[in-house]
Amino acid sequence: MRNGSSYCALFLVTLLVLCTGKLSSICCADSIVLESAEMGSAGQVGGTAIQASEYVGWRLTTSAPLTVEQVGGHMYAIPDQTGEVFAALVRLASLSSMPEGSPFTESELIAKATFRPNFPSDDFLTPLSATLIPGSYALVFGTGLFDATGGAGLINGVDQAYIPPTSKSSYISWRVPSSGSSADWHPIQAENMRFVIVGQEASFTADFENDGDVDSNDLTIWQGAYGTNSSGDANGDGDSDGRDFLAWQRQFTGSGGTAFSQTTIVPEPGSFVLLLGLAMAIAVRCCNNW
């Protein structure tokens, strides 16, 4: 009886250490912050309107894989519009390109979220999960799409200096330029707006062909290596097995501008909390029945 209880206690302690260690590694990792401009004075109103007739975006590039966790900027909610606005991450052909859709194509839309900023303005962030491979993108705010019905404003004060390589030409908008014409993507005249993307550098251990993404070609390599060699080893245990397939599945980005993952590589901390609670409950029950 004593030996059984000791084993159960050891199991529970080990499980707690493993799970809390995983939580710590997620919560305490250094963040990567991409910003278009410096933060100005909070508590403002005015600036550039985010509305159904005009979406506002920022074009940017990434040189390394990035797991996005939050997006936002210096903005505020329009008080008399009670709904939310949307944030969308869109793949671009190049830094000088516009989105190809009206407003977005299914293949270029990587991830989206709806949120309501505060009032008056502050440096607001909202959760959004996506995996970006090196390339060009746009972060777009708007309403009237994705069930967003509210309104917001982006502060564009002169105290918000550009953070290179952002310039005035980095900003774009989806709008109707003149009466009788249809909506389209255009450069925007507003300047010094602050957009923010926060995330972690993504480590693609399932990128077996080392081309910067995780796609069907990497799955083919894993299939050929399964049970025979380590060419499809994503978890560093020296072989290619089912665990490596699960790693490929979690890290899948798609190739080029076709299909992209809309979930982060690392599960949310809440998943580990639920797993920990379930596993401990099972362990305690087993100990009581030992």
The verdict on residue 260 lying in a domain is no
**Which is nearest to 225 in space by CA: 212, 214, 209?**
209
- Same domain membership, residue 219 and residue 130: no
| The predicted structure's pLDDT at residue 164 | 96
| Mean pLDDT across the chain | 82
pLDDT score of 83 more than 50: yes
- Same domain membership, residue 110 and residue 9: no
The three-state secondary structure class of 66 is: strand
Please tell me which residue, 60 or 20, carries the higher pLDDT value: 60
Query: Furthest-apart CA pair in the chain: how many Å?
Result: 84
**What tokens does 42 get?**
């909070």
pLDDT (mean) for 274-281: 49
Cβ 199 vs Cβ 32: under 8 Å: yes
| The predicted structure's pLDDT at residue 94 | 96
Of these ranges, 188-192, 195-199, 232-236, the one predicted with the greatest mean pLDDT is 195-199
- The two counts, helices (H) then strands (E), for the chain are 4, 12
The three-state secondary structure class of 35 is: strand
Q: What is the CATH number of the domain that holds 36?
A: 2.60.120
The verdict on residue 179 lying in a domain is yes
Structural domain count, the chain:
3
| The predicted structure's pLDDT at residue 119 | 97
Please tell me which residue, 52 or 285, carries the higher pLDDT value: 52
Task: Give me the half-sphere count of Cα atoms (radius 13 Å) on the Cβ side of residue 66.
Answer: 25
pLDDT score of 269 more than 70: no
pLDDT (mean) for 1-25: 41
pLDDT (mean) for 22-30: 39
CA distance readout (Å), 133 to 62, 80, 110, 250: 7, 39, 11, 14
Q: Which residues span the domain enclosing 99?
A: 32-200
pLDDT (mean) for 77-83: 93
What tens digit of pLDDT does each residue of 199-214 get?
998 878 899 998 878 9
**Which is nearest to 56 in space by CA: 187, 196, 197, 199?**
187
The verdict on residue 258 lying in a domain is no
Q: What is the CATH number of the domain that holds 223?
A: 1.10.1330.10
The verdict on residue 225 lying in a domain is yes
The verdict on residue 259 lying in a domain is no
Residue 283 to residue 281: CA distance in whole angstroms? 5
- Same domain membership, residue 57 and residue 4: no
- Same domain membership, residue 145 and residue 176: yes
15-19, 112-116, 209-213: segment of lowest average pLDDT:
15-19
| The predicted structure's pLDDT at residue 268 | 40
Q: Which of the 8 DSSP states describes residue 158?
A: T
- Same domain membership, residue 244 and residue 161: no
| The predicted structure's pLDDT at residue 240 | 93
pLDDT score of 10 more than 50: no
pLDDT (mean) for 48-67: 93
**What tokens does 163 get?**
């953070």
Tokens 């014409």 — which residue? 181
Q: Radius of gyration (Cα) for the chain, nearest Å?
A: 23
pLDDT (mean) for 35-47: 96
- Same domain membership, residue 285 and residue 141: no
Burial of 285 (0-12, 13-18, 19+ CB in 10 A): exposed
| The predicted structure's pLDDT at residue 217 | 93
Residue 261 to residue 254: CA distance in whole angstroms? 7
| The predicted structure's pLDDT at residue 133 | 85
Cα 41 to chain centroid distance, Å, stands at 27
- Same domain membership, residue 98 and residue 18: no
The three-state secondary structure class of 223 is: helix
- Same domain membership, residue 69 and residue 47: yes
pLDDT score of 281 more than 60: no
39-48, 112-121, 166-175, 241-250: segment of lowest average pLDDT:
241-250
**What tokens does 165 get?**
């390589």
The verdict on residue 257 lying in a domain is no
pLDDT score of 12 more than 50: no
- Same domain membership, residue 222 and residue 90: no
- Same domain membership, residue 72 and residue 20: no
